[in-house]
Structure 1
Amino acid sequence: MLRLHFTAEDLLRVTFAAEPAPLMELGLAMAMLQRATVPEFSRWQRRARETLPREATALFGLVPPTARGPMFLDPLSKGLDDGLDLVRATPVSRIRAELDRVCPTHRPVTPWIRDLAVREREAWQTLEHAVRAAHSALINEPWSRIEAGFQAERAWRTRLLARDGIRTTLAQLAAGGRWEGTVLVFPRPEQFDAVLSGHGLVLLPSVLWSRPLVALYEDAPSILIYPAVTPLPLLEEAPADPLGVLLGRTRAAILDLLPREHNTSDIAKELGISKASASEHTKALRDARLVATQRDGKAVWHCCTPLGLELLRGAGTAG
């Protein structure tokens, strides 16, 4: 379980990030490459592993599959160059503290990591070259889709915030989210208690990650990274409608069918996709609280929830 302990000050200071952070997405992408196959990322994982430059693989020495690598490596920044400026400006004391936290708990202490800790010039050149190579391979080309998915996600969540309030909006950021008093709980294989510092929380959706993750700061707002409704592999290059940007073309088409109840076979036939694909997409829509599902014998029936209908109305596709 991930347990986020809020104070009243933290709840009053919840904000959304204004834009995606390239180095944050890069760190998440490097972690995703090391994880066991994640269904919605499986093709992306396979292709990215095959094409990742050898120079970029040095980052595997710092970033574990949990994505809980050194926090100085993925600051919130607008671009690659200003992000690298922030990385290079990290105080030595913080570099050492973060490397001590990550190694050897998650990663072995290699000679390269020891050189990073003392700011050895060649080691830091290797780090910069690795970041640039990985960014070029994983982030640069799909950046327009990453931005489109981020902005659509942010606009939708902001609308939910205005309608449902902060507690409901936060609990719905990921499947299974719930409140226990002032503690926000998300299901996760490992146990992690995150006590916020009273400086607030920045919500950062990611199209390259699949479960909630928190970066804690004692003297600044902490960051809650959560999975966007539609991951990068399902974001179309240039969807013709705003709902397609948010959900992906296939999921948007499925939702458009469901003001009236359809079963999984009907959906597959209507859209010309496999039944397995229809089932996978309806599960994602159900996890996002946009679709409700019930079983009747061997048939599984789906229809829009009130939230799904409101999203359709907002996109101008529901009567």
Structure 2
Amino acid sequence: MLRLRFTAEDLLRVTFADEPAPLMELGLAMAMLQQAMVPEFSRWQRRTREALPREAKALFGLVPPTARGPMFLDPLSKGLEDGLDLVLATPVTRLRAELGRLCPTHRPVTPWIKDLAARDRKAWQSLEHAMRAAHSALIDEPWSRIEAAFQAERAWRTRLLARDGIRTTLAGLAAGGRWEGTTLVFPRPEHIDAVLSGHGIVLLPSVLWSRPLVALHEDAPSILIYPAVTPLPLLEAAPADPLGVLLGRTRAAILDLLPREHSTSDIAKDLGISKSSASEHTKALRDARLIVTQREGKTVWHSCTPLGLELLRGAGADEKPKPTARNAVEQRSVNERPVRAARTPRG
């Protein structure tokens, strides 16, 4: 479990990041590449591991699969250059403290890490070259999609904050989130007990990470990284509509079907996708609290929640998502389908 212990001051000082952080996404991407296959990232993981330049792989020595590496590597910054300036200017005391925390808990103390801690010029040049190579391989090309998804996510969460309040919004950042008094709890394989310092917390969605992660700061706002609704591998290069930017085209198309109840088979048939793919996408929409699911015998039925309906209304009737996988026979509006008799809701 990840347990975030808030004070009253922290709850009053919750903010959203203004823009995505390129070096933060870089570190998360390097961590994701070392994890066992994550379903929504598996193809990206295989493809990217094969193409990653040898020079960039040096960062594996600093970034563990948990992404809990030294925080000086991934400051909040607007771009690569100002981010690297911050990294290269890390004070020696902070540098050694964070490398000491990393080793040997997550990584062995290698000669390169010793040289970094000693401020060896060649070691720091190799670190800069590794970060530039990794950024070029992992962040440069998809950056426009990362920015678009970030702004869509931020706009949606801000809207939820105004409607539902801070506690509901924070608990909804990831599947299974809940409050225990003033402690926010998220399911995780390992146990992390994080006590906030009263300086507040900055919410930072990531399209390259799959579970909540916190970067604690004693004298500044901490950072809560949480998975964006749709990960990078499912974000198309040219989204057709605002809802597609937030959810990805296929999930947006599924949500567009669900003002009227559909089974998993209905969704798969309508969109020309497999039932397993439809199940994965509906699970993600359910985790985001945009749809609800009920089982009736062997059939699983899905429909929009009030939040999902509101999101569809906000996207605009003239900007409905257009599925990419329908064939010529199946390209018809959901409104043309026969209306199924309403089922009696369960208690």
Q: TM-score range by the shorter chain?
A: over 0.9
- One-letter code of the match for 2:170? L
> C-alpha separation between the residues in 2 aligned to 1:185 and 1:296?
31
How many residue pairs get aligned? The number is: 319
Q: 1:297: Cα distance to partner?
A: 0.7
Q: 1:236: Cα distance to partner?
A: 1.0
Q: 1:81: Cα distance to partner?
A: 0.5
- 2:101 is aligned with 1:101: yes
Q: 1:92: Cα distance to partner?
A: 0.2
Describe the superposition over 1:225-255 as per-residue Cα deviations: whole angstroms up to 9, x where unpaired: 0000000000111112100000000000000
- 2:155 is aligned with 1:152: no
Unaligned regions of 5+ residues in structure 2, if any? 321-334, 336-347
- Residue 205 of structure 2: aligned partner: 205
- Residue 58 of structure 1: aligned partner: 58
- 2:137 is aligned with 1:175: no
- Residue 112 of structure 1: aligned partner: 112
> C-alpha separation between the residues in 1 aligned to 2:8 and 2:285?
32
> C-alpha separation between the residues in 2 aligned to 1:149 and 1:48?
20
> C-alpha separation between the residues in 2 aligned to 1:91 and 1:118?
12
- Residue 6 of structure 2: aligned partner: 6
> C-alpha separation between the residues in 2 aligned to 1:277 and 1:106?
35
> C-alpha separation between the residues in 1 aligned to 2:118 and 2:219?
24
Q: 1:182: Cα distance to partner?
A: 0.3
Q: 1:311: Cα distance to partner?
A: 0.3
- One-letter code of the match for 1:299? T
- Structure-2-length-normalised TM-score: 0.91
- Residue 138 of structure 2: aligned partner: 138
SS of 1:59's partner is helix
- Residue 29 of structure 1: aligned partner: 29
> C-alpha separation between the residues in 2 aligned to 1:200 and 1:141?
33
- One-letter code of the match for 2:169? T
- Structure-1-length-normalised TM-score: 0.99
- Residue 281 of structure 1: aligned partner: 281
> C-alpha separation between the residues in 1 aligned to 2:126 and 2:239?
38
- Residue 309 of structure 1: aligned partner: 309
Q: 1:190: Cα distance to partner?
A: 0.4
1:205-284 aligned within 5 A? 205-284=205-284
- Residue 85 of structure 1: aligned partner: 85
- 2:293 is aligned with 1:298: no
- One-letter code of the match for 2:177? G
Q: 1:260: Cα distance to partner?
A: 0.3
From the CA coordinates, give the structure whose radius of gyration is larger.
2
Describe the superposition over 1:248-307 as per-residue Cα deviations: whole angstroms up to 9, x where unpaired: 000000000000000000000001111111111001000000010011111100000010
- Residue 20 of structure 1: aligned partner: 20
- Cα RMSD over matched residues? 0.9
Q: 1:109: Cα distance to partner?
A: 0.2
Describe the superposition over 1:106-147 as per-residue Cα deviations: whole angstroms up to 9, x where unpaired: 000000000000110000001000000000000000000000
- One-letter code of the match for 1:154? R
> C-alpha separation between the residues in 1 aligned to 2:30 and 2:65?
8
> C-alpha separation between the residues in 2 aligned to 1:297 and 1:154?
39
- One-letter code of the match for 1:6? F
> C-alpha separation between the residues in 1 aligned to 2:9 and 2:287?
29
- 2:189 is aligned with 1:189: yes
Q: 1:99: Cα distance to partner?
A: 0.2
> C-alpha separation between the residues in 2 aligned to 1:90 and 1:200?
23
